[in-house]
Chain A
Amino acid sequence: MEKEFNVVGARLPMMDAAQKAKGAALFTDDLILPGMLYGKILRSPLPHAKILNIDTSKAEKLPGVKGVVTGKDIPDRLYGIVPMAKDEYALAKGKIRYIGDDVAAVCAIDPEIAEEALELIDVDYEELPAVFDPFEAKKDGAPVIHDGIKNNTSFAIKKEFGDVKKAFAESDAIFEDTFFSQAVNHAPLEPHAALAQFDPLNGELTIWSSTQIPFFLRRNLSNTLQIPESKVRVIKPKVGGGFGQKIDLFAKDFCAAWFAMHLGKPVKFIYDREEVFISTRQRHPMYITVKTGMKKDGTILAQKFQSYADGGAYNSTAPTMMALSCFFLMIPYKVPNLFYEGYHVYTNKPVGGAMRGHGIPQARFAVERQLDLMAERLGLDPTEIRLKNSIHAGEPHSAGFVINTCGFSESVEKAADAIGWKEKRGKLPHGRGVGLAGASFPSGVSNMSHISSGAVVQVGRDGAVNVLSGAADIGQGAETVISQIVAEELGVPLDDIRITAADTGITPLDPGTFGSGVTVRAGNAAKLAAAAVKQKLFNFLADKLEANAADLVAKDRKIFVKGSPEKGLTLLEGLKAYQYADLPMPIVGRGSWMAPADEPTTLFEQDGNFAPSYSFMTQAAEVEVDLITGQVKLLRMVTAHDCGRPINPMLVEGQLEGSVVGGMGQALYENVIVEKGQMMNPSFLDYGFPTFLEMPEIEAIEVETDDPIGPYGAKEAGEGTQLSPAPAIVNAIYDAIGVDFMELPITPEKILDALEEKKKT
């Protein structure tokens, strides 16, 4: 049988893989410009204090120092990645709010001189009472971290779907449990970096930044520097991983730009590893209470969910994170009646932000853990309870989600089979167990109207295809996936594609890499652009081939009449004929795409279809607990995964494998420890995310669906798969040793304490 697609669905290496393997890929820190200066940031040593005075005179006099900037010098413009939640200045103005806050910056001819100059800046602080616990912070009379924010609660969301009171009254069994999910750091291998250059002749600022969001960064820089967006060009070089941490404007971006503009020389800032840990972003620690009402047979009738996110000193993505956490309680299970209240509370601690899964992993941990507890108490099998409540395609949804394709129940069955559920659950020797958990994730968002992507495709006389896309490849392979889509559409091999991406001065608008929308959004934009090129060529060639344009196909660098490959010509012949007919070259196609929405809505005010499509997955873990040392070994993790049709199965697997190990880190190892505002483990040595030694056996099972909205049927991949490794592992630990863990991570100490406790009872 003939393959349906040639390039889509192929296991192709990333287009820039060889460059990366040779060490020739250029990241921001690899860029050097003539006359380049180096910047460093002075950080707050206190958790909460007024800045009375900053004396920079000694630092300025140090030979080699070219400039010092403090909050007083910068425009009075707040920035923030979520416009409604802006609460941060590029450098502190009058007050610092956590240990590591950005106080001042210096710029010098050498990084060591810059470092030395930091020590010569005298800051007069008036220390203020600080608060480190969200429950303390929300009390009346707690220290006020941001003026005008009552009870330090910067964002609250309350939503009710259905009639929760009535549904609880009708429930046979009601359970209420409390959970805690800890702070973890994204820890991308590439530290954050920025290099800025200013051209005083045309007033244009160019900045190379390790960012996931070039266009939002442009907007934020324009706003904080008070120069027009058209004068800011953000270029994203290779980015060494982000996982959400690089979704923000940071002091390094602003200060590099500020110095470049004021000194007329290029300026580079590189964060060291400690700064990445302390002064960028982390996953929000979250305290969650879930109350669930069920029928005896395990059908969920109602859920009440209360969460407190420990936000740290600033908002970053707080509203989005809380909203995601709320809405995704209603998927992949039917929750007909839901009451959700969530609070984002400031504390004098490092700042929470977007991290792979973004508010949902915390909620999934609570819900998936509780489902197992309930199954146990009701005498039901955990797989049964999940299948019973599974969402299905085409069903009405309590919050108005439109589920076109859904492989969830199939994923439960396949994951359970693959892990050997029937033979193993409850039947393995003491210390060994299996557990599973489900999840779903949006493929981008549809109820925020400004989230759209553009693309341009050009084909010249030589058949070379040039793609312009705003999408930000941060190592996941977005440029390759977009190029595969264009290649498929035009019927050419991937080698014929050249892509230029994520340069706000050249490429069309794109919101960036977040919310798992890139493949669907930027992929659809590129598909439209490629289709527009193809249409022009087909329209012209139709006469020549004595066929309707609609009957032509492009494949293997040929254009021919569908079903009659002999009735056609090569792409090059077609292009030559096009040019010789005096039609303008190159052939250019444009595409812009945003998720279909009935009307523009907002994430927070209205219900409706959250995303153009939803991925689904079930993850099943097998663990071995060392009863002597308390160490948990994740032996195996199976993920049965509906990401629509994978554009590149090898890259999807890579995403899945990385997210499984990331989720394992959250379950077992990683924990950002903060004492009195001071991070205690801001290094790879002390933090300890999984290495080769902890790597489990990882198995991926595709539950393929053909999504009608995604390009070639694709949906989100790679973010949803980090939602449920943690609950699957914790559920497996329960099976192994019969202990209910309600707090992450499950360290050997906790295991040993629990086993000791168990012995006593």
Chain B
Amino acid sequence: MKQAIELNINGDVHEMLVATHHTLLEVLREQLGLIGTKRGCDLGACGACTVLIDGEAYLSCLMLAVDAIGKQVVTIEGLSEDGDLHPLQSAFVDQGALQCGFCTPGMILTAKAILDEEKHPAEEVIKQKMAGNLCRCTGYKKVVEAVMRVAEESGQEV
């Protein structure tokens, strides 16, 4: 069954026809071409499909697209403004916190949700909250360093 819905993705309202059983991940990737959201397991176990829903990190493979009606969805494509990298994206690049890059969008969005909630989280908090995002390349060390760097730098602005 298909349903005409409106989704607010990265600040734009998309009027679209979606299969009611399709996940947000499927609709983002296949209907909107927002391929930065990755499919790693389709089981909510790897975090590669993480998006922000009203500012919180969600696994888009576990959420039906129709359940996103009326919510603000942010994907990795919605993070950089005017083509500039978001500070988290810059930190991941500069610190070598990504290798193959497949888990990276999900990692960055989870990190954004953490830092939006708490400006200066302790390293242990970052690890706890990012534990749902798997990476097989980096060993996580540089990811933690990158997130910590952004947390520290945002502290300097205050």
Q: Give A residues with C-beta under 8 Å from B.
A: 11, 13-14, 16-27, 29-30, 32, 186-191, 238-241, 243, 270, 272-273, 474-477, 650-651, 653-654, 656-662, 683-685, 689-693, 695, 698
- B104 contacts A20, CB within 8 Å? yes
User: Which residue of A14, A191, A684 contacts B134 across the interface (Cβ within 8 Å)?
Assistant: A684
Could you list 13 A-B pairs, sorted by A, with CB under 8 Å? Answer: A18-B89, A21-B108, A189-B102, A238-B101, A240-B100, A241-B102, A241-B136, A651-B96, A654-B138, A654-B142, A689-B136, A691-B132, A691-B134
Output the nearest chain B residue to A11 by Cβ-Cβ distance. Answer: B96
Q: A16-B101, A657-B141, A658-B138 are in contact. Are A190 and B36 (CB under 8 A)?
A: no
Q: A695 with B144: in contact, given A241-B136, A475-B137, A654-B138 (CB under 8 Å)?
A: yes
Per a CB cutoff under 8 Å, which of A188, A656, A692 touches B127? Answer: A692
CA distance A649 to B103 in the complex (A): 22
Encode contact with A along B117-131: 1 for CB under 8 Å, 0 otherwise: 000000000111011
Residues of A contacting B36 in the complex (Cβ-Cβ under 8 angstroms)? 22-24
For A695, the chain B residues whose CB sits under 8 A away are 127, 139-141, 144
Known: A23-B76, A187-B136, A189-B40. A691 touches B102 (CB 8 A): no
On whether A693 and B136 interact (CB within 8 A), knowing A13-B93, A22-B89, A241-B99, the answer reads no
In the docked arrangement, what's the CA distance between A25 and B76, Å? 12
| B29 proximity list for chain A (CB < 8 A) | 30
- Which A residues lie within 8 Å of B89 (CB)? 18, 21-22
Complex CA distance for A23 and B92, rounded to whole angstroms = 12
Q: Chain A residues with Cβ under 8 A from B9's Cβ?
A: none
In the bound complex, do residue B128 and residue A23 qualify as a contact, i.e. CB atoms below 8 Å apart?
Answer: no
Q: For chain B residues 24-78, which have a beta carbon within 8 Å of chain A?
A: 29, 33-43, 45-46, 48, 75-77
Contact of A27 with B98 in the complex, beta carbons under 8 Å:
no
Alpha-carbon distance A16/B132, docked complex (angstroms): 25
Interface: B4 (CB within 8 A): no
A19 contacts which chain B residues (CB < 8 A)? 101
Task: Provide the residues of chain B in CB contact with A683, threshold 8 Å.
Answer: 41, 43, 45
* Nearest chain B residue, comparing its CB with the CB of A686: B45
Residues of the B chain whose Cβ atoms lie less than 8 Å from the Cβ of A187? 136
Q: Shortest distance in angstroms between B150's beta carbon and chain A's nearest beta carbon?
A: 12
> In whole Å, how far is B76's beta carbon from the nearest beta carbon of chain A?
3
Q: How far is the CA of A14 from the CA of B100 in the complex (A)?
A: 10
The tally of CB-CB contacts under 8 A between chains A and B is 176
Known: A21-B101, A475-B100. A189 touches B93 (CB 8 A): no
On whether the beta carbons of B40 and A191 are closer than 8 Å, the reply is yes
Interface of A is mostly: loop
Which B70-113 residues have a C-beta within 8 angstroms of A? 75-77, 79-80, 85, 89-90, 92-94, 96, 98-105, 108
Which residues of chain A have C-beta atoms less than 8 A from B77's C-beta? 22-24
Cα–Cα distance between A657 and B135 once the two chains are bound (Å): 12
- Given contacts A273-B43, A689-B134, A698-B139, are A23 and B93 in contact (CB under 8 A)? no
A684 adjacent to B46 (CB under 8 Å): yes
Alpha-carbon distance A659/B143, docked complex (angstroms): 15
Write out the residue numbers on chain B whose beta carbons fall within 8 Å of the beta carbon of A20: 98, 100-101, 104
Among residues of A, the one whose C-beta sits closest to the C-beta of B35 is A30
Q: How distant is B73 from chain A, measured CB to nearest CB, in Å? A: 14
Identify the closest chain B residue to A653 (Cβ).
Answer: B96
User: Which of A20, A651, A691 has most chain B Cβ within 10 Å?
Assistant: A20
The 6 closest A-B pairs by CB, nearest first: A23-B36, A475-B100, A20-B101, A240-B102, A23-B76, A657-B139
Docked CA distance A3–B93 (Å): 25
The distance in angstroms between the C-alpha atoms of A698 and B138, with both chains bound, is 11
Tell me whether B136 and A188 are in contact (CB under 8 A).
yes
Q: What is the minimal beta-carbon distance from B42 to any residue of chain A, in angstroms?
A: 6
CB distance from A721 to the nearest CB of B (A): 10
Q: Please judge, given known A-B contacts A13-B93, A240-B100, A475-B99, whether A685 and B43 are in contact too, CB under 8 Å.
A: yes
Is B80 touching A22 in the complex (CB atoms < 8 A)?
yes
Which residues of chain B are near A21, meaning CB under 8 Å? 85, 89-90, 92-93, 98, 101, 104-105, 108
- How distant is the Cα of A23 from the Cα of B48 in the complex, in angstroms? 11
Q: Which one of B41, B104, B142 lies within 8 Å of A657 (CB-CB)?
A: B142
Chain B residues near A650: list those with CB within 8 A: 96
Q: B35 contacts which of A14, A26, A190, A270 (Cβ < 8 Å)?
A: A26
Chain B residue nearest to A637 in the complex (CB): B139
B45 & A684 in contact (Cβ 8 Å cutoff): yes
- Which residues on B sit within 8 Å (CB–CB) of A475? 99-102, 137
Bound-state CA distance A475–B103 (Å) is: 11
The CA of A657 and the CA of B103, in the complex, are separated in Å by: 16
Q: Report if A692-B40 is in contact (Cβ < 8 Å); known contacts: A240-B101, A241-B102.
A: no
Nearest chain A residue, comparing its CB with the CB of B146: A21
Query: How far is it, in angstroms, between the C-alpha of A26 and the C-alpha of B79 when the chains are bound?
Result: 18
Measured in the bound complex, the distance between the Cα atoms of B41 and A685 in whole Å is 10
Give Cα distance in the complex from A21 to B39, angstroms. 16
Q: Which of A16, A475, A476, A698 has the most CB of B within 10 A?
A: A475
Q: Counting chain A CB atoms within 10 Å of each CB, which of B34, B45, B90 scores highest?
A: B45
Are B93 and A18 interface neighbours, CB within 8 A? yes
Residues of B near A654 (CB, < 8 A) are 96, 99, 137-139, 142
CB distance from B97 to the nearest CB of A (A): 8
Q: Is the CB of A23 within 8 A of B136?
A: no
Given contacts A30-B35, A243-B136, A698-B141, contact A23 B100 (CB under 8 A): no
Inter-subunit contact B138/A17 (CB<8 Å): no
A425 CA / B84 CA spacing, docked (Å): 51
On whether the beta carbons of A693 and B137 are closer than 8 Å, the reply is no
The answer for the CA separation of A22 and B39 in the assembled complex, in Å, is 16
Flag if B76 contacts A17 (CB, 8 Å).
no
Query: In the complex, A684→B42 CA distance in Å?
Result: 10
Most chain B CB within 10 A, of A25, A238, A474, A662, is at: A25
Determine whether the beta carbon of B45 is less than 8 Å from that of A685. yes
- Distance in angstroms from A108 CB to nearest chain B CB is 15
- The interface residues of chain B lying within 8 Å CB-to-CB of A16 are 101
Give complex CA distance A27, B101 in Å.
10
* Pairwise interchain contact B43-A684, C-beta atoms closer than 8 A: yes
Picked from A22, A238, A685, A698, the residue with its CB within 8 Å of the CB of B76 is: A22
Which residues in B have their C-beta under 8 angstroms from that of A653?
96, 142
Judge whether A658 and B131 touch: CB under 8 Å: no
Nearest B-chain residue to A687, judged by Cβ: B45
Q: Which residue of A lies closest to B137 (CB)?
A: A658
A273-B46, A658-B139, A689-B134 known, 14 other contacts, Cβ within 8 Å: A22-B89, A23-B35, A24-B77, A190-B38, A190-B102, A241-B100, A273-B43, A653-B142, A657-B142, A661-B140, A662-B136, A684-B40, A691-B131, A691-B134
